[in-house]
Amino acid sequence: MYEQPEVFCKRLFKFSTFRDSLAGNGLFTCDDDEPIWGQASRILRPAFSLKGMQQYFEVCVVSAATLFAACLL
C-alpha cells in the first residue's frame, strides 16, 4: 500500500457524509494528509510488520479454523 499510493488512495472520501457521521475520525477514515493519519499510522505500523504478524499468526489460524468449523454445523 505504501509503495503504490495511487492504487490505494481514498478518492473523494475526505468529503464523504459517511465519514462525518457513522465512521468517525480514525486511520481508515482519514486521508494521508491529515494529522490523525500520521499518529494512527505510527501506532499501528508495528502490528502489521513481519515480526508483528508472526507473533499472532497462530491465533489467526486457530480463530479461522474455529469459525470455519462453526459454519459447517
Instruction: Give the pLDDT band of residue 65 (cuts 50, 70, 90).
Output: very high
Give the domain ranges of the chain: 13-71
Contacts of 32 by beta carbon, 8 Å cutoff, 6+ apart: 5, 38
Q: Which three cell numbers stand for residue 53?
A: 504478524
pLDDT tens by residue, 29-44? 777 777 888 888 888 8
Average pLDDT rounded to a whole number, residues 41-51: 87
Total-model pTM: 0.47
**CB-neighbour burial class of residue 23 (10 A; exposed 0-12, middle 13-18, buried 19+):** middle
Q: What is the pLDDT of residue 20?
A: 66
Q: What is the pLDDT of residue 41?
A: 82
Q: What is the pLDDT of residue 43?
A: 87
| 8 A C-beta contact, residue 37 and residue 31 | yes
